[in-house]
Chains A and B, each alone.
Chain A
Amino acid sequence: VSNEPAEEEGDSGETSSEEGSAGGTMNDEPGDTVTIGFSAPAADHGWMGAITSAAVDTADQYEDVELRVAEGTNDVNVQISQIETFIADGVDAIVLLPFDGAALTDVATEAMDAGIPVINVDREFSSPFAARSTVLGDNYGMGVSAGTYICEQLGDQPDAVVAEIQGIASLPLTQDRSQGFADALSDCGLDVDNQVSAEFTVQSGEQVTANLLQAAPEIDAIWNHDDDQGVGVLQAIENAGRDEFFMVGGAGSLDVMEHIQSGDTVLQATVVYPSTQAADGIKLARLVAQEKDLDDLASSSVPRTVQLFAPVVTADNVDQFMDIGFRS
């Protein structure tokens, strides 16, 4: 289904994610059996869980792929050791979603030097030589999309109150998202009045939101970075009985899309941050390892960088996105 006409003209953001479904391209023909090592941070929030599940599911679709999944860890020391083990094992390719891109750069370079192609997913290495190919989400772009959407809605009210609920504040990706958000808002003369950070978890989302709502008695718009913690955020809003504002989500979980579709909550939109990145990574890794090309492209080999688009999902276009939403 990857060659649906709708997609050709529509959102390019779907290109890569569409590959997740059982495809019918030439490249899906079985080839040499390849072993792919996969390592990602701990599945301590829904999006990360979805990443790993999607990667495993994708690998299962190919009988010529043997996937090695390392224990999800937030300890870069352990993750480095996992990659070292993959290198020692002589896997054919490595798909790596590093807990911290910079910290895993050296070991990824080592893998590349050892002739093992590394597909870098989501959090970028600090050196271009560390990965054969990089599948990137667009964190900055996500913030920009959310900010732009809020600007569209509130642009005529310069003193509108905008609140932001971050994920784990200490992660670079959070900073990128916030930066994009702030930049986009400043374009239309708005700024972030209240900023809190949760932990990407339902529980923390509920806790900080309950307090946030108290801190800000009048709000016009909220951007919540992560739909998984959004479950708690929504519940807190419901518990507080507040509805004078609208909310924009982040990541694009199926629940959120359902809410957008039905319009039963303050959720008006969400910004997609594909949870299928690692699945794409697996596909690319397989192609690279089998020395095949990405036959949807005219150029002859797998591209160095695939940056996924961060589209805004609203009630108008939600139907198109339902099938890439992940169950958080």
Chain B
Amino acid sequence: MVTEDPAAPLLQMQGIVKHFPGAKALDGVDLDVRAGEVHCLLGQNGAGKSTLIKVLAGAHQPTAGTIRLDGDEIAFPHPDTALEHGVATMYQELDVVDGLTVAENIYLGHELASAGFTLRRSAAQRTRQLMDRLGHPEISPHREVGSLSAAGKQIVSMARALSRDARVIVMDEPSAVLDSGEVDNLFRVVDELTEQGIAIVYISHRLEEIRRIGDRITVLKDGVTVGRNLDVSTTATDELIKLMTGKNVEYAFPERPGVPDDAPVRLEVTDLALADVFSDVSLTVRAGEIVGLAGLVGSGRSEILETIYGARRATRGRVELDGKSLRRGSVGAAVAADIGLAPEERKSQGLLLDEPVYRNVTLSSFARIARGGWLDERAERSAAAEQAAALELRPNDVERPIRTLSGGNQQKVMLARWLVHGCEVLLLDEPTRGVDVGARSEIYDLVRRLADAGTAVLVVSSEIPEVLGLSDRVLVVSDGQVVHEGPAEQIDEHQVLDMVMEGSVA
């Protein structure tokens, strides 16, 4: 139900330009959002989506351009002002404070207080209401947010946006850390909100989500609006992808050539267990095989990978590579044995954000790059540049600090690290989280090429279609137990969901 004239935009952004020192993130972007609609913002990694909504939120000051709310021109010099005008934002980088409780996080900046003293009881009460509304009554208002999973934090972030008297709620890739059950929940809330006439700006790289809830689409490319006022129901996927990438991309998974029966077992995991997280995990990955781990967020898949890798010390069990046992709890031993891990949280677990690309690429390969502890920077650069070219890194410049790369390109750097090192076993945790369509298919192709070259690959992903599409064999994990194992062709998304469905976000 839309309350006002549906055509009159509630929010209008015109000619937004934003320059960062040395980089133009936005170069004239237009966006108009109507009350009660879900307006989707599409674009490749680095297209400027997050920058645009940060301008809208008052977190960045635009170099040029105007913002109108209800037709009145308005400026948001601080995040505060935007919030006061009813523009609430869920940011892409989780914006919660670990040391505060759920209720305190939700009311941060607009605390319920009298004379400076916080009113904890009413804050808790309202938080409970918000959590009920979001379908998570089990998250207590007094729980410390640091103890929540990424999905739980995303829910707190959403509750915070709801706690503001918002007319426009901006969601920057909210589903990236959510699994399908959670996404359903999210969409139910979005429906509720739009019925109240609240406008939603929704950013996601998953086109199927946009098909489900979107009304209209704006497409950004290189900081410019290239598609506006596109109707979700009538715009073809090919067309969207073409707008975003400027070319036709096959949005499909690579062929599965099939693993020959005599392929040797590269990685063998026997009865692996980590106290309180998972137990009795046994699996094998053969040379040239891609094995997927499917499951809900929080089911323990990341821990399985990290334990195999030695980043966590297994309480029980064995990990063997080509028949040789690996030392327990030693990443060094795993790396020396040519096992590589591309971790789940690229930024916090994988990259040195201020260091240039080439140093990130060679970080695990000193044994190859250095002689007697002395680095050969030229060799480093050329090794990195070679991989950058092969992976079509954009921009193809290995001197650039990683921080300035988009998510998809950062992920490519992570892969390049293990390509330079040369891996027999590659462990990939959420390899396409926050990665745009174009880069996604490149990553799929790359993984497949690696497998074809004889690498054993173990992939974790929360997007079930991705696991099913990419892997040769799938293991379904629920609550720390492997509940199913079988070829990927013989199982579909619904069956997987049925197997894992009694999980929880918190």
A and B touch in the complex (CB under 8 A): no
